[in-house]
Structure 1
Amino acid sequence: MNHAWLLIAGLLAMAPAPALGRDGALDPGMRNPLLPGYFADPSIIRDGDEWFVFATIDPWGADTLGLWRSRNFRDWTFETPNWPTKAAATSPTSGKSKVWAPSVVKGRDGKFWMYVSIGNEIWVGTADRPAGPWRDANGGKPLIPRNFRPGLHMIDAEAFVDDDGQAYLYWGSGLNWVNGHCFVVKLKPDMVTFEGELRDVTPAHYLEAPFMMKRGGRYFLTYSFGNTTKDTYQLRYAVGSSPMGPFREMSDTPLLATDAKRQIFSPGHHAIFSAGGEDFALYHRQALPFTPVGDIVLRQIAVDRLTVSGDRLAIVSTHRGADVPGTAVKRSGARLGRLTASGSADLSHSATAAGDDNYATSWRSNPGAAWLQADLGTVKAIGVTTLRPAYPTATISFSIEASLDGKAWRHIAAERPARGSPITLPAISKTRFVRLVFPQGADILEWNWPTQ
Structure 2
Amino acid sequence: MQKRIFLWFFLLIGISTAAPAQEKKTSGNPVFPGWYADPEAAVFGKTYWIYPTYSAKYNQQVFLDAFSSPDLVNWTKHERILDTSSIKWAWRAMWAPAIVKKDGRYFLFFGANDIQNDSAKGGIGVAVADKPEGPFRDHIGKPLIDKFYNGAQPIDQFVFRDSDNQYYIIYGGWRHCNIARLNKDFTALEPFSDGTTFRSITPEGYVEGPFMFKKDGKYYFMWSEGGWTGPNYQVAYAIGDSPFGPFKRIGTVLKQDPLVATGAGHHSVINVPGTDEWYIVYHRRPLGETDGNHRVVCIDKMVFNEKGEIEPVKITFEGVAPRLIK
Matching residue's letter, 2:62: D
Which runs of 5 or more residues in structure 1 are unaligned?
A: 1-27, 175-179, 328-452
Query: Which residue in 2 is equivalent to 1:316?
Result: 314
Tell me if the contact between 2:65 and 2:79 (Cα under 8 Å) persists in the aligned partners: yes
TM-score by length of 1: 0.59
Separation in 1, partners of 2:150, 2:218:
32
Give the alignment's Cα RMSD to 1 decimal. 2.2
Separation in 1, partners of 2:93, 2:322:
32
Question: How far does residue 265 in structure 1 lie from its aligned partner after superposition?
Answer: 0.7
Tell me if the contact between 1:185 and 1:244 (Cα under 8 Å) persists in the aligned partners: no
Query: Which residue in 1 is equivalent to 2:128?
Result: 126
Query: Which residue in 2 is equivalent to 1:67?
Result: 66
Aligned pair 1:216/2:216, yes or no?
A: yes
Report runs of 4+ in structure 1 exceeding 6 Å deviation.
none
Identity %: 31
Question: How far does residue 227 in structure 1 lie from its aligned partner after superposition?
Answer: 0.8
Superposition pairs for residues 284-299 of structure 1, below 5 Å? 284-290=283-289, 292-293=290-291, 296-299=292-295
Question: How far does residue 32 in structure 1 lie from its aligned partner after superposition?
Answer: 1.0
Query: Which residue in 1 is equivalent to 2:13?
Result: none
Q: Deviations over 1:296-340 (max 9, x none)?
A: 42101111111123341122222211235327xxxxxxxxxxxxx
Matching residue's letter, 1:68: F
Change (3 A) 1:151 1:222: closer
Aligned pair 1:263/2:264, yes or no?
A: no
Aligned pair 1:144/2:145, yes or no?
A: yes
Separation in 1, partners of 2:232, 2:134:
36
Q: Secondary structure at the match of 2:263?
A: coil
Superposition pairs for residues 298-447 of structure 1, below 5 Å? 298-309=294-305, 310-314=307-311, 315-326=313-324
Superposition pairs for residues 163-312 of structure 1, below 5 Å? 163-174=163-174, 180-196=175-191, 197-250=197-250, 253-260=251-258, 262-275=259-272, 276-290=275-289, 292-293=290-291, 296-309=292-305, 310-312=307-309
Separation in 1, partners of 2:36, 2:211:
18
Tell me if the contact between 2:68 and 2:75 (Cα under 8 Å) persists in the aligned partners: yes
Separation in 1, partners of 2:96, 2:281:
13
Higher Cα radius of gyration: 1
Q: Deviations over 1:144-188 (max 9, x none)?
A: 11x3339642100000111221111100001xxxxx100001212
Tell me if the contact between 2:27 and 2:74 (Cα under 8 Å) persists in the aligned partners: no
Q: Secondary structure at the match of 2:49?
A: strand
Q: Secondary structure at the match of 2:242?
A: coil
Which runs of 5 or more residues in structure 2 are unaligned?
A: 1-24, 115-122, 192-196
Question: How far does residue 86 in structure 1 lie from its aligned partner after superposition?
Answer: 2.5
Separation in 2, partners of 1:47, 1:324:
17
Select which of 47, 50, 53 maps to 1:53. 50
Tell me if the contact between 1:81 and 1:131 (Cα under 8 Å) persists in the aligned partners: no
Q: Deviations over 1:394-431 (max 9, x none)?
A: xxxxxxxxxxxxxxxxxxxxxxxxxxxxxxxxxxxxxx
Query: Number of paired residues?
Result: 282
